[in-house]
Structure 1
Amino acid sequence: MQSTNKIDVKKALNEKEGFQVWWRLLRPHTLTASFVPVFIGSMLALTEESINIILFLAMLAASMLIQSATNMFNEYYDFVRGLDTEDSVGIGGTIVRDGIAPKTILNLALVFFGIAILLGVYICMQSSWWIAVIGLVSMLFGYLYTGGPVPIAYTPLGEAFSGFFMGTIIIGISYFIQTGELTAGVVLVSVPVALFIGGIMMSNNIRDLEGDKENGRKTIAILLGRKNAIRFLAGMFIAAYIATAILIFAGVLPLWSIITFLSIPKAVEVIRKFRTSSTPLEMMPAMTATGKTNTMYGVLLGLSLLISTFF
C-alpha cells in the first residue's frame, strides 16, 4: 500500500469522526456481497412458491453480520501482523487512524458472530439442522480468510473462496431454507454472482498489489502483475455476463433477466478507472465501482426473477 501523509489520507478518503468510525469498520462498499446472494436466492425461491419474510430477514441479517465480522477480523489481523499502518488505503482505519483498541475490534467481531449463530439457530429450527453445519463451516472460513497460520486472503485462492462461500453457498442456503430443496438450476445461477463477488476481492487485491507484495502475500494480482490482473478482472466480468446470457437462452433464467446487462457500463467503468490509475488512492473509485457493479447486477437479477413470477 503506497505510503502518503496521514492527514492527506484522511482528507482524501473523507474520513469523519463519531459514528462514521464504526461504519467504516464494516467496509460498507463490500456488504453488497452479502445482500445480493440472499436476495437472489430468495427470489429464486419465490419463483417456485411464496417465501417466508421472517426467514428472509433472518438470513439477510446473519449473512451481513458474518461478512462484517470477517471485515473486522481482517482489520484486526492485518494490524497485528504489521500490514496496516496509519497511511494504509482501503482499510477501515479504525485501529491505526482512529485509535480504537485492537481487542475491541476482535471482541466486536466475536459478538457479531455470536448474534449470527443465534439467528442461525432460528433458521435451522425453521428449515434443517444441516444448515448449522454449513453455516459453521462458512464462519470458520470467514475467520480463516485473514486469521489462522496461513490466511486465505494472502494466497491466490482468496477470490475463489469468497466467490464460492459468499455467492454459491449463500444463494443455495437462501433458496433451501424457503423450499426445502436445492436444484441444479440454483447452483448454475450462482456462478455469475460468484464471479462478481470474487471480482470485489480481485479489485481489492489490484489496489493493494504493491503493499501486499512487500508484505509477502501471493495473491492472483501479485502473480499476474497489475496489467494482467486488470485483464483478469475484465475476464471475470465478461464470463459472468456470458454465463448469464447462456442461462437465459437455456431457460434457466427468465427472459426478463436480460435487464442485468444494464450493469455493463458500470463494469466497463471499473476497468477504465483501474487502467487510468496508478496509486491506491486513485484506485479507490474503481474499487467502489466494483461493488456497485455487483449491486446493480444482483438487484437487477433479483428484480427480473420477481417480475417473472407475476408476468
Structure 2
Amino acid sequence: MSEQQPVSRRRAWLMAARPQTLPAGAAPVVVGTGLAVGTDVFAPLPALAALIGALLLQVGTNFANDYYDAIRGADTPDREGFTRVTAGGLIEPARVKRAMYATFGLAILLGTYLVWVGGPAILVIGLSSVAAGIAYTGGPAPYGYRGLGDLFVFIFFGLVAVTGTYYVQAVAGVAGIPPLPAPLAFVPPAAVVAALPAAGLSTCILVVNNVRDRETDAAAGKRTLAVLLGYTGSRIEFLLLLGMAYVVPLVFAATGYGVAVLLPLVTLPLAASLARTVLTETSGAALNPALETAGRLLFAHSVLFAAGLAVV
C-alpha cells in the first residue's frame, strides 16, 4: 500500500499491532508445549493461557516501539521499514500509548491465572516481561537504544517464553502454589537447551531489522547493536544465531531423542536463502521481505522442533 493512499482507522490499528509478528510471538510457546507433551506434563489450559499472554506481550511491545520511537525522533522519513502509525500521523500518539497500556494490562490480567497455577515465579516473569517490553524503547534510558535489544529478545522471546511455558504446565498438577525457587526444580536442562533455537531465530529477526535501519538509527542517535557492530559484525552475529538453531536439534538427536527431532533441518533451504540476503543486502527493498522470511523461518522451525520433541 502506498503511503499516499488514505488509510482507514482499522487498517492503521492493524499496522500498529503488526499481526505479521504474531507467529514469532507464538513460536517459543509452541516449543515449550511440544517439550511438555514429550515429557508427559502437558496441561492444555496453562498452555493456552501462555500462548495468549505471549501474543499480548508481542502486540503491546509493538505498540510501545511504534509510540516511543516516534516521540524520540527515531522514525524519520528516511527510515526504510514498514510504516509506523505514530510517526506517520495515522493515529494520535496518546491513543497508541493508551493501547499499549491496555494490551499490557490484559496480559497482566490473564497472568493472574498463570500466577495461580505457577506461583510467585510467574509473577516475577510476567511483570519483568511487561517492564522489558516498555523499557525497550521507552523510559529514561531505553536499552534498545544502547545495544541491548538483541539480548532482550534472546532472553524474553526465547529463553523465558519457552521455559516459562514448560514450567506452568509442569507445575499445573502440583498441589498448592509452588514457592519462588520452583523453576529450578520443575524446569529441566533440556527445556533451557530447547529454548535456544527460538531465542536465536527471534534475535535474527531483530538483527535483520537493525541491519536495514543501521544508517537511519545511527543518525537518530539510536545505538542498536547493529550500529555498534557495523554490517560485518552484525552479519557474524546473525550467522552464529542461525547456526545455533540447527545445531541444537543435532544435540537432542545425539542424546537419546528420536529422529523426529531433526525435522527442523527441512527448513535449511529457507535459512540459506535468508542468509544470502542478509549477507549481501542493506536496503529496505531487500530486507523488508527478508524480515517476513525470518518470521516464517522461526515459526516453521519451532513447529517442527516441537513436533519432534513431542513424539519422543
Give the TM-score taking structure 1 as reference length: 0.89
My pick for the range that moved more, 90-99 or 117-126, is 90-99
Give the aligned partner of residue 291 of structure 1: 295
> How far off is 1:275 after superposition?
3.8
Q: CA deviation at 1:269?
A: 1.4
1:26–1:92 contact (8 Å) kept in structure 2 = no
The yes-or-no answer on 1:130 pairing with 2:135 is no
Deviation at residue 143 of structure 1 after TM alignment: 1.0
Of residues 35, 43, 62, the one that matches 1:71 is 62
Within the candidate set 304, 308, 311, 2:308 is matched to 304
8 A Cα contact 2:12 2:90, kept in partner = no
Change (3 A) 1:92 1:126: farther
Aligned equivalent of 1:204: 209
Provide the C-alpha distance between the structure 2 equivalents of 1:197 and 1:29, rounded to a whole number of angstroms. Answer: 14
2:223 is aligned with 1:223: no
Q: Could you tell me how far apart the structure 1 residues matched to 2:130 and 2:250 are?
A: 33
Residue deviations 1:169-190, cap 9 Å, x none?
1111111111121111111111
Root mean square deviation, CA, Å: 2.1
For residues 151-208 of structure 1, what are the alpha-carbon distances to aligned partners after superposition, in whole Å with 9 as ceiling and x for unaligned? 1211222111111111111111111111121111111111122111111111111111
Contact 1:40 1:302 in 2 (8 A): yes
Whether 1:179 aligns to 2:199 is no
Unaligned runs of 5+ residues in structure 1 are: 1-6
Contact preservation (8 Å) 1:269, 1:289: no
Alignment of 1:14-93 (within 5 A): 17-49=8-40, 51-86=42-77, 88-93=79-84
Question: Aligned partners of 1:92 and 1:37: how far apart in 2?
Answer: 27
Note closer, same or farther for the CA distance 1:264–1:17 as it changes in structure 2 (3 Å cut).
farther
CA drift at 1:131: 0.7
Read off the aligned partner of 1:259 and give its amino acid letter. Answer: L
Which residue of structure 2 aligns with residue 249 of structure 1? Answer: 254
State the Cα distance separating 1:232 from its structure 2 match: 2.6
- In the alignment, the residues of structure 2 paired with residue 156 and residue 237 of structure 1 have an alpha-carbon distance, to the nearest angstrom, of 19
Q: Which whole-Å CA distance do the structure 2 matches of 1:201 and 1:141 have between them?
A: 15
Q: What is the DSSP-based 3-state SS (H/G/I as helix, E as strand, rest coil) of the residue aligned with 1:96?
A: coil
SS at match of 2:114: helix
Q: Work out which of the residue numbers 130, 135, 139 in structure 2 matches 1:139.
A: 130
Deviation of 1:50 after TM superposition, in Å, equals 5.1
Partner Cα separation in structure 1 for residue 76 and residue 106 of structure 2: 30
Letter in 2 for 1:277: E
Aligned counterpart, 2:265: 261
Equivalent residue for 2:155? 164
CA contact (8 A) 2:79 2:213 kept: no
Name the CA shift for 1:124/1:155 in 2 (closer, same or farther; >3 Å). same
Deviation at 1:144, TM superposition (A): 0.8
CA deviation profile, 1:120-140 (whole Å, cap 9, x unmatched): 001121232321122111211
Partner of 1:273: 277
In 2, Cα distance between equivalents of 1:240 and 1:103: 39
Which amino acid is 1:149 matched to?
P
Q: How far apart are the structure 1 equivalents of 2:78 and 2:100?
A: 23
Pairwise CA distance, 1:220: 2.2
CA 1:42 to 1:125, structure 2 compared with 1: closer, same or farther past 3 Å?
A: same
Q: TM-score, normalised by structure 2?
A: 0.88
**C-alpha displacement at 1:72, in angstroms?**
0.7
Whole-angstrom distance in 1 between the partners of 2:82 and 2:60:
14
| Residues matched between the structures, number | 298
The alpha-carbon deviation at position 18 of structure 1 amounts to 4.6
Give me the identity figure in percent: 30
CA offset at residue 278 of structure 1?
A: 3.7
Structure 2 unpaired stretches of 5+ = 172-185
Alignment partner of 1:116 is 2:107: yes
- CA shift at 1:15, angstroms? 9.0
